[in-house]
A and B are shown apart, each in its own frame.
Chain A
Amino acid sequence: MYKTSIRGKLIDGEKSLSQISQEILAPIDAKTPTWWYIALGISLAMFAFGVKSVYITLTQGIGTWGVNSTVAWGWEIINFVWWIGIGHAGTAFSIFLLILRQKWRTAINRAAEAMTVVAVFCAALFPLVHMGRPWLFFYIFPYPNTRGPLWVNFNSPLFWDFMAISAYLLISASFWYFGMVPDFATIRDTTKSKIKKAVYGFFAFGWTGSSREWLRYEGLAFVLGGIAAVLVVSVHSIVSTDFAVSVEPGWHTTLFPPYFVVGAIFSGFAMVLTLVTLMKKLYNMGDFITENHVDAVCRILVFISLIMGTAYITEIFIAWYSGSEYEMYTFFKNRITGPYVLEFWGMFIFNALMPQLFWSKKVRRNIWVVFVISLLINLGMWFERFNIVVTSLSKNYLPASWAEYHPTIIEIGFFIGTLGMFASGVLLFFRYIPQIAIAEVKMISKYNTQQTDHLKPGHHDYE
């Protein structure tokens, strides 16, 4: 049979089970390093800037933003879609790689899920504040309210979006949390500190690792995993309908749902790559997150990047092929050329062309090049959302209402605030939560050989 070295070892070094616990828990037991405090300080300062910007928005109104009646959606919606996209990776990692029986997911899924929860939190803030009067946000709940028994519009993509994001936040958070319960029990049972024993013991829910618990736990993981796979696809499809259901040129297209879902997973995987590089370098998790893991994520990025490139070209082709003057104008005069060329070509180069460098093994194995490319992909994905939101709105059907859009410092501050919130969340995660799913890594430690035989029939013993 054709044999090839598909993936190298999943864990470097011959490690005993207790070594695995110790090494993964090392950052929790160790003294907090100085750089951590500095990084948290910077993140919190950024967060404070965001809080101030939101305070100004709430007290003075949306008029403090650069949006106008033509470009009514500015940075807030761009950032909302961008964060939601990043938030897609966690569940995509956990679920799709679980379904595809990719054992290498175990080293990365915890970090990806943590990132998801924080990113979705950041995302949810934008539409909330964008409402203008966020204290009345409960109007969007479907309840028979005081204006007579008047219901919400069940056909509105904005209502779908609200449902989708609340569901996604709750489900990713519970999926993440239940994955951690056995690991909290490990901390409870191995730590020497009484405080840690009490705190992690509280969150470990009385877990003992009995066969009855594992049986139901596996059942739960199966159910949550199965339905969350549907959710991942539906959430970003719904986000895309916010645009696609309208009649704006550049938005009104059936390509949007798959294009958004793939784009979301793309940016999420890039952010995962950023995080695991930090985990490898700052916390010496290199034995668990080997270069083979990074390699695998890079290969996925090449594939997704090709899909992204295809989507961009399809959009342009359809604009020409449809013969619609407005579509032609939007794509050829307001994206490829015109005032927003920087954003368009930034998007195209960072998302469709640059990840092609990952075809080269040398690039995939150079962690710093990978790190830089992963950051640039996220920048590119931000440009993509800018392209979609601003270019289509700025020049609509009526030239008299054309307008330019420039963000104000308040909007920039709001975005920086969410970046600070994300960074603080990730730092707290690094410090207080096992960065890698201990129980799952232990489970795969028995497969810790070069995987050359996975084409063998009947190789389905991963459960």
Chain B
Amino acid sequence: MIMNKRYLIGVFDDEHTLVDAFEKALEKGVVIEEVYTPYPIHEILTGMKNKTNITTAAFFFGLFAVIMLLGGMYWAAVVSWPLHFGGKPFNTFPSFIVVTIVATILTITILTLLTFSVRSKIYPGKKADIIDIRATDDKFIILLDQEKMGMGKPEITKLFQNQGATEVYEKDANTN
């Protein structure tokens, strides 16, 4: 069951004030639930301490594809249906490489996209959990869960305002 939570939301106008406020808040021990920005910001991505293993996953998808492709072609050309082409060997390995490269790339793409979709819970027609509708346009949003902010509401509000927040407000919402 999804419970509605009460959130404190800080709205910033540009990247620099957001990053300053974000870093200052982290220093003071504030627990930040999530940050919404119109474009990726390196400091936020590292500061949030979230990790993604999507690149590692992609590597293993590739490894899997290479083994399956080379194994599959060897099996088809040598075991399943060997054909004589003017005395050439059945296992024409070097020329298998071409198909292996291209089909590996295709496999990595499809599986990585699927992984991305599953892990980020992003799929066609999904209803967005919008906290502040301006976050995809021109505002930078810091979201705090009021039950576990690590600091009192007035202090945080003051901190954000001192750092140049244009608005600080409260909102009930549910996010995943």
Contact = CB atoms under 8 A, between A and B. Distances in A.
B108 A223 contact: yes
B124 A186 contact: no
A211 B131 contact: no
B64 interface: no
On chain B, which size bracket covers the interface?
35 or more
B128 A201 contact: yes
Contact of A186 (B38, B76, B122, B130): B38
Interface in B24-45: 34-42, 44-45
A359 interface: no
Given A17-B138, A149-B80, A155-B92, A219 B39 contact: no
A313 interface: no
A155 B137 CA distance: 51
A218 interface: yes
B113 A211 contact: no
Given A186-B38, A186-B136, A443-B40, A220 B50 contact: no
Interface stretch (B99-107, B144-152, B160-168): B99-107
A220 B129 contact: no
A160 B92 CA distance: 14
A375 B121 CA distance: 44
B4 interface: no
Given A142-B76, A170-B110, A206 B126 contact: yes
On chain A, which size bracket covers the interface?
35 or more
Nearest to A168: B102
A98 interface: no
A182 B136 contact: yes
B133 interface: yes
Given A186-B136, A207-B122, A219 B98 contact: no
Contacts of A451: none
Contacts of B9: none
Contacts, number: 191
Nearest to A201: B128
B99 A159 contact: yes
Given A155-B95, A210-B35, A214-B37, A231 B116 contact: no
Interface of B is mostly: helix
B169 interface: no
B92 A439 contact: no
A76 B116 CA distance: 39
B102 A154 contact: no
Interface in B9-60: 14-15, 34-42, 44-45, 48, 50, 52, 54-55, 58
B125 to A, nearest CB: 5
Nearest to A461: B42
A222 B116 CA distance: 12
A151 B122 contact: no
B127 interface: yes
A148 B83 CA distance: 13
B159 interface: no
Contacts of A188: 128, 136
Contacts of B54: 216, 219-220, 223
Contacts of B129: 206, 208
Nearest to A205: B122
- Sorted nearest first, the 6 A-B pairs with minimum C-beta distance are A206-B126, A17-B138, A18-B138, A219-B54, A167-B106, A214-B40
Interface of A: 16-18, 21, 142, 144, 148-151, 154-155, 159-160, 163-164, 166-167, 170-171, 174, 178, 181-182, 185-186, 188-190, 201-220, 222-224, 227-228, 230-231, 234-235, 238, 241, 439-440, 442-443, 446, 461, 463
Given A17-B138, A209-B37, A223-B55, 17 more contacts: A154-B73, A154-B99, A163-B99, A170-B106, A185-B136, A189-B133, A189-B135, A205-B123, A206-B127, A211-B37, A211-B48, A212-B120, A217-B116, A219-B55, A219-B116, A234-B105, A463-B40
